[in-house]
Amino acid sequence: MKCKRCRRTEAAVDLPSHHAAFCPDCFFVFFRRQVEEGIRTLALLSPEDRVLVCVSGGKDSLVLWDILMDLGYRTEGLHIDLGIEGYSDRSREKTLAYARSRGKETIVVDLREEGVPIPEAAKRSRKEECSVCGTVKRYFFNRVAAKRGFTAVATGHNLDDEAARLLGNLLHWDGEHLSRQHPLLPEETQGLVRKVKPLWRVGEMETAAYGFLKGIDYVTEECPLSFDATSLVYKEALSLIEEKMPGTRRRFYQEFLKDGGRFRSEAIVKGQDAVRTCLACGAPTYTETCGFCRLKARAIAGAERRRR
Ligand code: SF4
Ligand code: ZN
């Protein structure tokens, strides 16, 4: 099959959801346009921004960093070492090697040094690993960005991640999470740095193809703690539907974002949500004490229970 764009070269990437197939060069053009369009339509970033890119060492975050650099944004990478034996060391290595190849430095936060490696923190607080991981990562993303004067935090969530999350939130009619689910969370005056997801228009397969064709060396193994991640169930369900009805995933998520986001409140859109200051650590939070401090308190209580 010939490339649908140039009609000369053999197609290398088949995209049923776009009724298209591209040769490598035309696929790069397509992918780049999708990301640019995603940034432009939702005003995620501006050329003046200093962007902190959260890089795990997996394909999505390294592709994100790669394309933001190619698009000319001022970026730095932040890697959070989760303290998961073996897997975290390999992820850190891939991140640092990629950064070196692009002549970039990476800021590293080591959760073992911070006293909250994910496996132990989850065990001690008796909470699910992925939920602990999410809380801890969000905390450090914002803390590092605010301390070092970044104007935006970018994460590599793609269309498949966001559609799966939307399905989960809808199945539970989780109004709170639905109101905050968006590729743009504006900055709040009280110290919450703007959060953006520039890959929201591109799917997992497209991101993987981009990474592969660009020769980006990323961690291919799954996180060993992902075995009971519910997001994988939602992803599988959507993949099944997508296979029978290509384009459904894209429509599902894009319709949700219509008119500024179907479940968003005015306060969230304007960045005037009721943010407070955590009573324990001073970080911005929507509750009395922030999620990170509550987690730490639970983990400490858990450790004491064990000692007794
Ligand atoms: Fe963190 Fe869960 Fe993802 Fe592993 S699978 S990196 S524990 S969120
Ligand atoms: Zn706190």
**Model-wide pTM > 0.85:** yes
DSSP run (H or E) holding 150: none
Distance 294 CA to ligand 2 centre (A): 7
pLDDT band at 110 (very low <50, low <70, confident <90, very high): very high
Task: List, for residues 266-294, the tens digit of each pLDDT value.
Answer: 767 776 677 889 999 999 888 899 999 99
The closest ligand to the CA of 225 turns out to be: 1
Ligand nearest to the CA of 129: 1
Q: How far is the CA of 290 from the centre of ligand 2 (A)?
A: 4
* pLDDT tops 70 at residue 139: yes
- Report the alpha-carbon distance of residue 241 to residue 246 in Å, rounded: 8
Contact call for residues 21 and 206 (beta carbons, < 8 A): no
CA-proximal residue: ligand 1, atom 5 (nearest): 226
Q: Which residues line the pocket of ligand 1, CB cutoff 6 A?
A: 118, 129-130, 133-134, 223, 225-226, 229
User: What pLDDT is stored for residue 271 in this prediction?
Assistant: 67
If pLDDT is split at 50, 70 and 90, which confidence band does 13 have?
A: very high
Q: What is the pLDDT of residues 23-45, one digit of tens each?
A: 999 999 999 999 999 999 999 99
CA of 225 to the centre of ligand 1 (A): 6
Residue 160, CA distances (Å) to 44, 53, 103, 167, 203 in order? 19, 19, 30, 11, 5
